Chain A
Amino acid sequence: MTATTPSAIAAGSRRPWRRWVRRHGWTTGIWILFLALIAYYSTLIPSFGSFQVASIVNNGSPFVFLAAAQAVIVIAGGIDLGVGSMLVLTSVTAARLMEGQPFAATILIGIGILLAAAVLNSIVGWIITVSQVPDIVVTLGSLYVFQGMALWVLPNPGGGTSEGYRYLFTGSNTGIGANPWPAIAMISIAILAVAWWLGRTRRGLSLYAVGSDTTAAYLSGIRAARVKILSYAVGGSFAALAGLATTAIAGRGNATTFGGNLTLNSVAAIVLGGVALTGGIGSVIAVVPAGLILFFLNPILSAMGVDPNRAQIIQGLLIVIVMMVTGLLEWRRQRRS
């Protein structure tokens, strides 16, 4: 007799696989798109093999890490325009400190940089929470500050690192080779660890909670300000991971790369990966293929014979079309229910 009987939304009233697809639909879809593009790419060039796979995974890994950095911060309701220049800053710092050092020392330096980046970016988060200035404004500032610091650390391209360190990120002592496995392992470990933390631990869930509804989160006993700072710290160290990978790939540092472009790329990747810019929704696992797709769209298009100057148009259209298709699916779902 009740208006809303509990059984109406009780367990088993919907098919479980349907709900799984709905909840993880974007992640599944973007992975399928990624694999389909890889398969298509392999038919385009005759010599497709482990060298091409290694090239995509190795050179794409900074994009993936940077997208993950942005994803963590956006999920908690912020946005960090400074991640790109954080990548540049950490990359040149690594190149300067690691030059001529043995393998063990470069690893220790790398770990030190990850921690320092977390501290540095948590200061950004702290400024945002204390000053109540919007994230986008404060991080626009940090974008330029970090870029300037990078030029100060390494005014001219240079520096270096150890061979073992390069192997760790690229599967080769020279940065060029046919072994994709070290890069795949690095990406898998880092992404699965942060995905587990975000989705399964109380602290990680509180990032989603704050991004979704700060007031409700506060009333649930979550300290929203601390969570926000934490998201910037984690995001900062992921941006640093991207910087460390960049140094390993290039074997040197270059502070003249402008971080703003990298930042925009990270925003594009999380949008494509289904992270809501309004916060509270999204998965870092979906951000991995999204970052890689944006990276290797260029080689695909050039293999197809498309003028590289027009590749950007296609990249932009791809983002809009994916958003439209998913918006359409959501609209249909709501109409049906």
Chain B
Amino acid sequence: MSESTQALLAARGIAKRYGPVVALRSADLTVAPGEIHALLGANGAGKSTLVKILSAVFGADAGTIAVNGAPARLRKPADSVAAGIATVFQDPALIRDLSLEQNLRISNLDVGAVMPWLERMQLDSIDLDLQVRDVPLAMLRLLDLARALAKDPQLLMLDEITAALTTDQTTFVFDLMREWKERGRSVLFITHRLGEVLEMSDRATILRNGTNVAELDLEGVAETELVRAMLGEELAEAATGEDATARTGRTIGNGERPIVLEARDLRLRDKVNGVSFALRAGEILGLTALEGQGQDELFQMLSGDHRPTSGELVVNGKPLTARSPFDAIRQGVVLVPAERQHALLPQRSVRENLSTPLYNRISRWFTLARDEEERVSRAVERLDIDIRAAEQVQRLSGGNQQKVTIGRWLAAGFDTLLCFDPTRGIDIQTKAQIYDLLRELAADGAAVLLYTSELREIPLVCDRVLVMYSGRVVSEQDARTATEEMLLSAAHGLEEAPA
């Protein structure tokens, strides 16, 4: 950016603290007109806080914001929109109990202004009378995007927009971003997927511990350089050491280990159409699929949340007919759900959250488990949870919250861990820690079923991998030799390419 070009957005010295936790120390961000600018940083670096301040969700403690050279006072979301900034948040800001059309109306938008954008995303046939609660998450994100675009902003801020999208939906979004840039408008792009950053962005601002540590021109920059800038030199090694299995040692001789969980021709209405697999102690079985191929329902059945229409689930050699997760948990089958909110008590402390599963034991004997304290402390230590904000889990960053969801089961004990997309929207450092943890658990003899939508990570953590398509397992491969291309084509239901 040359000196003469005026910045579209210039934020200087933005600071924000929540009680004792400093979310932003002093962050600068400059976005030029007509560029796609990436905002990068590890978990808790302050990205989301900065985005929320720029959208005027809350105010900053210090700092100035200028739009097109003029100082902007952002007090409420409408001010931010008036200044030409529109945001698509990580959680869609749509109201569940209203119809899509009513949602557009309350944000003062004309359906006519949104329609062209829906058309571009091939969503123009969608029925606007549908209630938000009945619309899948991926579609809500696209609708939220269309709603933001219809405000015709100078700066479009996209917070983890691709997290829940399928490959072709992502392509639509990228096309739209490019088009936006060609119009001379700007995009602030926040994502953990570095491949996407390099593919789409012109420049990147990197936050670390609430301060911007670098502003990079992305021409010819490699992923490893970004990682290094995000983590600082010493940590980068751990996160890019590529293979988690290499550090902890991949389990060998799986064939001799006992089968702890076996699914025999599981079916659930038309969603799951006969899934069979065996999960052995000490292995991590990967599972991947495009959105809505029955993986959600499969996990619901495995975790005891939903009874299969037909088929059998065998745990440790005994058939399991779970009426509720309680039964599955007692058999040692535990779930780490994708939505952290479903697993955590947001207003309670880390300690209480970790010991929630222990309540089963407490209530049975009318006495506190004597070793509760010790178990919880061990879990905190092992997970390396940042407990500065320990008195309320909702104050932790997303990555630390996810660690708590896994930590709950560490304290309670289990045989089989079902993980549903545990690294969605989480930074690479925490991601690496979670994968290391899973490998360690497997090495200690636990069985892990890991559903993930991030194909490139399967070879790094898993032993075997299953691919689901339209309610069936269409492919089983050795995770070490599986390539992204092979998995992707299987996930699209294509004939398996000869390996």
Residues on A facing B (Cβ under 8 Å): 1-4, 6-7, 9-13, 19, 23, 202, 205-206, 208-209, 211-213, 215-223, 280-281
Contacts and interface: CB of A to CB of B under 8 A. Distances in A.
B3 interface: no
A126 B355 CA distance: 40
Contacts of B293: 3
Interface stretch (B133-141, B225-233, B317-325): B133-141
B93 interface: yes
Contact of A219 (B77, B126, B136, B290): B77
A205 B57 contact: no
Contacts of B169: 2
Nearest to A215: B93
Nearest to B470: A3
Given A6-B125, A220-B94, 12 more contacts: A1-B493, A6-B139, A9-B134, A12-B127, A205-B106, A206-B106, A208-B102, A212-B96, A215-B93, A219-B77, A220-B95, A221-B78
B127 A9 contact: yes
Interface of B: 55, 57, 76-78, 81, 87, 89, 92-98, 102-103, 105-108, 122-123, 125-127, 129-131, 134-136, 138-139, 166, 168-169, 290-293, 492-493
Contacts, number: 100
A212 B105 CA distance: 16
B116 to A, nearest CB: 15
28 contacts: A1-B168, A3-B290, A4-B136, A4-B291, A6-B122, A6-B123, A6-B126, A6-B139, A9-B135, A9-B139, A10-B126, A11-B125, A13-B127, A19-B129, A23-B131, A202-B106, A206-B106, A208-B95, A208-B102, A209-B98, A209-B106, A212-B98, A217-B95, A217-B106, A219-B87, A220-B93, A280-B95, A281-B97
A12 B291 CA distance: 23
Contact of A221 (B81, B102, B291): B81
Given A3-B290, A4-B138, A205-B102, A219 B57 contact: yes
A47 to B, nearest CB: 46
| A-B pairs, 5 with minimum CB distance | A219-B93, A212-B97, A3-B290, A3-B291, A280-B97
A7 B122 CA distance: 10
A220 B96 contact: no
Contact of A4 (B97, B105, B125, B139): B139
Given A202-B106, A212-B96, A221 B77 contact: yes
Contacts of B105: 202, 205
Contacts of A219: 55, 57, 77, 87, 89, 93
B122 A216 contact: no
Given A2-B168, A202-B108, A218 B97 contact: no
